[in-house]
Structure 1
Amino acid sequence: MTGPAKILLRGVTKSFGPKKVLQGIDLSVAPRESVVVIGGSGTGKSVLLKCILGLMQPDSGSIHVDGEETTTLANRERERVMRKFGMLFQGGALFDSLRVWENVAFGPIQSDGMAPQKARDVAMAKLGAVGLGPEIGELFPSELSGGMQKRVALARAIAREPDIIFFDEPTTGLDPIMADVINDLIVKCVSDLGATAVSITHDMASARKIGHRITMLHDGRLIWQGPVGEIDRSGDPRVDQFIHGRAEGPIRMQVRKL
């Protein structure tokens, strides 16, 4: 990475009681770079994302966004930093009681005070950016397929044209073809915005497609980092086991016996 980091973590730790979830995380993300964090369920990927977002306070360490320490910010200052962020949640997290366009326009209206008619125009434009026509904007989320709901969630994530976009398991629950459609849309939207992206996933097809760089989280530590094209030559048996989905290897899944 050259130049100042867009996001910089140093020595970030987080525990819940005796369970050490993050154990000294060091991570740099360059402007316009797309970094994907892979790892099994329960390895701390979501906790890491929440710490960067400011939804969770780390026990120690520093998190800088655009060179600014964010772990010590007061509420008003944190809100200012949060305006830089867009987020695609794992389940979409759409509001069932709002029409599609109102979901997409929620941030511009509620956070930016944009007039509803102008926000509606923005929402329709963002729906178009993810391949959905204006007629979809008048529907409710319950009237859409899972893949269309994910597109709407992506449109909402980019509605405020954020500097940084976070993707939480963006292809979960989708069939392989729709997952690839979403991956293509993520690449396009991030590129069009010139945004920085941080994603967490256990879907290797998605990781390879949307990331410039991959890092693997295991046992609370980032055990490998490198360009997407080098992950098959990581030289780490834990990474090799994970990316090929092998039951046998150094990573042992804990299975409760009945």
Structure 2
Amino acid sequence: MAAQPKILLTDVTKEFAGNVVLDGLNLAIEPGESMAIIGQSGSGKSVTLKCILGLLRPDSGSIRIDGAEVVGLRGGAQDRMRAKFGMLFQGSALFDSLPVWRNVTFGLTQGRRVDGTRMRAIAEENLERVGLDKRVLNLRPSELSGGMQKRVALARAIAPRPEIIFFDEPTTGLDPIRADVINDLIVSLVDDLGVTALTITHDMASARKIAHRVAMLYQGKIVWIGPRDRLYDSGNPYVDQFVQGRAEGPIT
């Protein structure tokens, strides 16, 4: 018997002031799978992510995590579900007022004062996983390069040992070399920790490296989904136009 999907979206719709952003979106992500969603700006990628996270409520449809419906969860039930999630935000979204070690452990403490020695040890362990050492523990994010900030944000995302990690444009603002370093880190972390991953990205190099499968979102629907190796050989006119960056084609 096949395992149930880790994340399952069924006929999810969402509109804002009459503008349909998600139009019956269907997507299944298997346990331990790394999925990337690509598409134009405004195609609904971020809205999809926010609906899964519970930051937005779909107008209709179902979103299930491990078979449990999450649409409409509130209070403690929503908190327990979110405890399964880790998040790497676009732009890293670190707290400039906190040292690196407190940024990394923020999800474990929610900003509360706790055993600093233990939290520093946890921070050091997770920083080591992303290639940083204890010399950065007491630095502020503003003292780090963009690539180092992204690594700290990765360490924060994995520190609570989530079951699912969401990556929002993980290579934005990085040059191609540093972007590839982050992609390699994501691949190794997903494999080592055995997590399920969902990435939204415009970066085709990133999608091809970190995802097992790639889904193309257009006008609120998944118009293609397939293995990463078929991204440039999909036979789908929407995908072909998008990945080649052509002005002419079905995407307007």
Amino acid at match of 1:149: Q
Structure 1 position 8, deviation (Å): 0.5
For 1:2 and 1:226, how far apart are their aligned partners in 2? Answer: 19
Matches within 5 A, 1:115-126: 115-126=115-126
For 1:48 and 1:166, how far apart are their aligned partners in 2? Answer: 11
Matches within 5 A, 1:1-258: 2-110=2-110, 115-252=115-252
Structure 1 position 117, deviation (Å): 1.9
Assess if the C-alpha contact under 8 Å between 1:108 and 1:114 holds in 2: no
Structure 1 position 142, deviation (Å): 0.3
Amino acid at match of 1:62: S
Cα deviations by residue, 1:201-229 (Å, 9 ceiling, x for unpaired): 01000000000000000111110001111
Give the TM-score normalised by the residue count of structure 2: 0.97
- C-alpha change, 1:113 and 1:212, in structure 2 (3 Å) is farther
SS in 2 for 1:165: strand
Assess if the C-alpha contact under 8 Å between 1:109 and 1:115 holds in 2: no
For 2:183 and 2:123, how far apart are their aligned partners in 1? Answer: 21
For 2:136 and 2:111, how far apart are their aligned partners in 1? Answer: 24
Structure 1 position 193, deviation (Å): 0.8
Assess if the C-alpha contact under 8 Å between 1:130 and 1:151 holds in 2: yes
SS in 1 for 2:148: helix
Amino acid at match of 2:65: V
For 2:111 and 2:159, how far apart are their aligned partners in 1? Answer: 12
Structure 1 position 2, deviation (Å): 3.8
Amino acid at match of 2:243: I
Give the TM-score normalised by the residue count of structure 1: 0.95
For 2:205 and 2:114, how far apart are their aligned partners in 1? Answer: 38
SS in 1 for 2:231: helix
Amino acid at match of 2:86: G
For 2:214 and 2:240, how far apart are their aligned partners in 1? Answer: 13
Amino acid at match of 1:30: E
For 2:173 and 2:232, how far apart are their aligned partners in 1? Answer: 26
Assess if the C-alpha contact under 8 Å between 1:36 and 1:213 holds in 2: yes
SS in 1 for 2:173: coil
For 2:195 and 2:222, how far apart are their aligned partners in 1? Answer: 23
For 1:202 and 1:248, how far apart are their aligned partners in 2? Answer: 18
Instruction: List runs of 5+ in structure 1 lacking aligned partners.
Output: 253-258
Structure 1 position 231, deviation (Å): 2.1
SS in 2 for 1:232: coil
RMSD of aligned C-alpha atoms?
1.5
Instruction: List runs of 5+ in structure 2 lacking aligned partners.
Output: none
Assess if the C-alpha contact under 8 Å between 2:92 and 2:150 holds in 1: yes
For 2:234 and 2:174, how far apart are their aligned partners in 1? Answer: 28
Structure 1 position 236, deviation (Å): 1.3
SS in 2 for 1:138: coil
Deviates more, 1:233-242 or 1:82-91: 233-242
Cα deviations by residue, 1:60-90 (Å, 9 ceiling, x for unpaired): 0000001100002221100000000000000
Give the structure 2 partner of residue 256 of structure 1: none
- C-alpha change, 1:200 and 1:225, in structure 2 (3 Å) is same
Assess if the C-alpha contact under 8 Å between 2:57 and 2:72 holds in 1: no
For 2:147 and 2:74, how far apart are their aligned partners in 1? Answer: 38
